[in-house]
Structure 1
Amino acid sequence: MEPSDAVLVRAAKAGDGPSFGLLVARHYDRIYRLGYRVLGIRAEAEDLAQDICAALPARLTSFRGEAAFTTWLHRLVLNAARDRLRRQAAKARASDGWGEVEHARRAEAAEAHAAQAWLDAALAALPGDLRETVALVLGEDLTHAQAAEVLEISEGTVSWRMSEVRRRLRALAEEELRA
């Protein structure tokens, strides 16, 4: 019988390396998937997952067990992804004015994004709060109540966000059909 997350967390906090390894192995794919759904770039999601796993031993001290470990972990991943997006935006703003090379790099990046699958592109166009909600509800298969707990919002807000996502995706699909 596999030990529960709670048992593994307690042991990992006490310095048990194999328990920590099992905890990471059990949840690495979850960390990567959520990171990818929020960031939209595989390499960024891989870096994020590795950064989180490297920092996890120190971060476990902040896990109090008031919520499920996966809820705490989802929140940790979302916060790290938000920080990464903020750093990228600041870096992009700082690079404005670098001339032809920067414009060429941005054009190349835009072409690469255009080549992604329709759904990935459509989800990436959503505002961050909607994208995070979709990543949790559809990507991580959480209930609206569980997603609300992770995002620290009401369940009704999660339901509204999912309805808004459906409306926007329908509108985008109809627009593309007309074009």
Structure 2
Amino acid sequence: MESQLSDEELVEAAAAGNAGAFGWLLERHYDTVFRFSYRLLGHREDAEDLAQDVCSALAVKLSSFKRRSSFTTWLYRIVLNAARDRHRRRVSFDKAAAGFGEVDALRRAEWAEAGDQTAWLYETLEAIGGDLRETAVLVLGEDMTHAQAAEVLSVRESTISWRMSKLKDTLKTLAKAEA
């Protein structure tokens, strides 16, 4: 019966302590959480950790869902914020770690295993960083419309369109420079 409820109905039941409803929410959305985490972070292990962290924290966070947007949009925001936090922690850790060269060598070794094109894309998106990277992951990786990405990122749709145009120009410039 719970499997037939809407996300919002499941959220309401889960927030009231219904473990079955919470289980259905996780079952329904775990793949999306993991996929989005992977596209944001670029490493399977990190994505698995982030997805687990989000799912663990979700039970407490459900009470903050105010239905101003769809549950899925709200969940994307939760994952995005968790990825941003993880990225900030990683940057701080990397700065404290001995030798930037060692970290860079490890990243390059991982990228070589994943293939040259994928490595170039993640490396380039990492270098571009911030808003353009997040926008690219939502629009290209998650196949969202500009309107949907705008809602997740809490910006105007025109901002998403501008970012995608800027990203396209940046990628063209980088590809030409490397050719």
TM-score, normalisation: structure 1:
0.87
**Distance of 2:81 and 2:159 partners within structure 1:** 19
Match of 1:81 among 73, 80, 83: 83
Contact 1:136 1:147 in 2 (8 A): yes
**Distance of 1:17 and 1:89 partners within structure 2:** 36
Please list every run of 5 or more consecutive structure 1 residues that lacks an aligned counterpart in the other structure. none
Please list every run of 5 or more consecutive structure 2 residues that lacks an aligned counterpart in the other structure. none
Alignment match, 1:18: 20
**Distance of 2:100 and 2:78 partners within structure 1:** 34
- Any runs of at least 4 consecutive aligned residues in structure 1 with deviations exceeding 3 A, and if so which? 102-105
**Distance of 1:165 and 1:136 partners within structure 2:** 13
Alignment match, 1:110: 107
Match of 1:92 among 91, 94, 110: 94
Report whether the alignment pairs 1:56 with 2:58: yes
Larger RCO (alpha carbons 8 Å, 6+ apart): 1
TM-score, normalisation: structure 2:
0.87
Deviations 1:133-171 (A, max 9, x none): 111112222211121111111111100111111112222
Match of 1:157 among 155, 159, 164: 159
Deviations 1:66-105 (A, max 9, x none): 110011111111111110011111112222xx4xxx4663
CA RMSD across the alignment: 1.8
**Distance of 2:158 and 2:101 partners within structure 1:** 44
Alignment match, 1:32: 34
Alignment match, 2:138: 136
> Which residue identity is paired with 2:106?
A
Offset of residue 114 of structure 1: 4.2
Contact 1:32 1:46 in 2 (8 A): yes
> Which residue identity is paired with 2:13?
A
**Distance of 1:104 and 1:123 partners within structure 2:** 19
Alignment match, 2:43: 41
> Which residue identity is paired with 1:71?
T
**Distance of 1:138 and 1:9 partners within structure 2:** 28
Offset of residue 22 of structure 1: 1.1
Alignment match, 2:69: 67
Aligned residues: 172
Sort the Cα spacing of 1:169 and 1:104 in 2 relative to 1 into closer, same or farther, 3 A: closer
